[in-house]
Each structure stands twice: as structure tokens, then as C-alpha cells.
Amino acid sequence: MEGPVAPVAVVTGAGQGIGLATARLLAQSGYRTVLAGRDRAKLDAAAAAVPGPALAVAADLTVPAQVEELFATVEDTWAPAEVLVANAGTSLAAPITRTTDAQWQQMLDTNLTAPFRCIRRALPPMLEARRGRIVVIASVVAKRGERQVSAYTASKHGVLGLVRAVADEVARHGVTANAVCPGYVDTPMTDATVAAIAERTGTTPAEARAVLERRQPIHRLVQPEEVAAAVLSCVQNGAINGQGINVDGGAVQS
């Protein structure tokens, strides 16, 4: 006799870093995991590294039709998502006076509008089932301003506001929405930040990385698995709702 079917979790930006660590942890916790992102080769490799059933779906989430295609594929292949982890994002460093309209729009499209569309599409089946978890990977700059990253900071402030509004709207229907707000994490995105700092300041990559490490009281970069653990706590605990949970070694206290 077959046992119960495992619930489905969709993780965006799952080809590497926080997304991959989260997909692995959700799989270990009994979820069928959907790994979404732009790079098919990375997704296939990531899916192969995930224990248990894993489905790789290539999608550019800044394109509305591809958001619909992602969730339709998940539902046709398995079932509606019970968990959505909106992790896909991008960063940009530039003085505000040198931030172009195109760069500003890129930050909003990827870090704010794409999660909005994913949440909007994932919610109806969750509300119907009266069960669901939404977690957005934001940033500590969702809670503070920081020089050189005005567009990125604005997009992350926006997505935290989105999460809080959604949380209040759906709480009475068995669905929760939270944000996890990491500091500097040891990921390829941070590697790019390190390279940009080194180039801008004339330092070595090691020196630039040390600068980021010192910005956090623990004097090291956060590990992707530490962020994933915070995501899992939001998934497992239905009393956590509308929160922006800092995973930054104590850099921002709230």
C-alpha cells in the first residue's frame, strides 16, 4: 500500500548558493523539490545533487508568461506547490548619481516584481487547500540603507513590504508569508561583489572579502546552509508569519 504523497516545494534561483542549499534541505525534510532558474545546465546539475524527487524547470521570472509556465509545469507534473521559496535575485553596486534607469528597473524587475508574480500565481491553490508557506529571500538591506546599493536596497525594502502585506492578508487561510534577510553570504553573488569592490578600490579579492567579513559581528560570511535553516523554520512553524528574519551574524538587531 502506497504512503502519502510528498508535498511540493518550488525554489527559484535554485541553481547555486542559497537556492540550492534550500532545495537540498527541503528535500531532506520530505518535499518533492522544484528547482527553477535561468541556467538549464546549472539546474540539471543542482537537481542531480538533491536527495529525493527533483524537477528542474528553466524560467526567466522577469517574463510574466514564464512565471505561468513554471507553475503550470509543476502542477501538470506533480501537484500545486505547498511551499514557495522566492530566492532568485540580483545585485548592483553604483553611486546613486551613476545608477541608470535601466539598472534601477532591473533591480525592481528581478527582486520585487518577479517575487510578486510568483506569489500571486502560487497563492490560489494554497488558499483553496488552506495550507501553504511563502518565504522570500530578502536582505538585511531590506531593513537599513547602505551606500552604493540604492537600487538594490529599494527593491529589498519593497519585497519585505510585499511579504508583510501578504502575510496579513492570508494568515486566516492557513498560509504564512515571511522573508529571510541574510547579510553577506558565501555565494557566487558575493564573489561578484568582492570582485567589484576589489576593482573599485584597487585592493586584492582577499582584502575585499575581508572587508565584507568584518561588517558582520561574527567576522565571517554566512553559509548558505545557515540561510536555508532559517527558511525551513518558516516552513515548519505556522506561528511565524509576516517576519523578516535576520541571518547576518548580528549586524542588524531587531
Positions annotated as catalytic residues are: 152
Return the DSSP state at 91.
-
Task: Please report the DSSP string for 72-88 in residue order.
Answer: HHHHHHT---SEEEE--
Instruction: Give CA–CA dist 110/106, Å, rounded.
Output: 6
Instruction: Give CA–CA dist 45/32, Å, rounded.
Output: 16
Pick the closest to residue 15 from 29, 30, 34, 1 (CA basis). 34
* Other CB atoms within 10 Å distance of the CB of residue 208: 20
| 3 state SS of 180 | strand
The secondary structure of the chain in percent helix, strand, coil, rounded to multiples of 5, reads 50, 15, 30
* Other CB atoms within 10 Å distance of the CB of residue 75: 13
Instruction: Give CA–CA dist 47/54, Å, rounded.
Output: 6
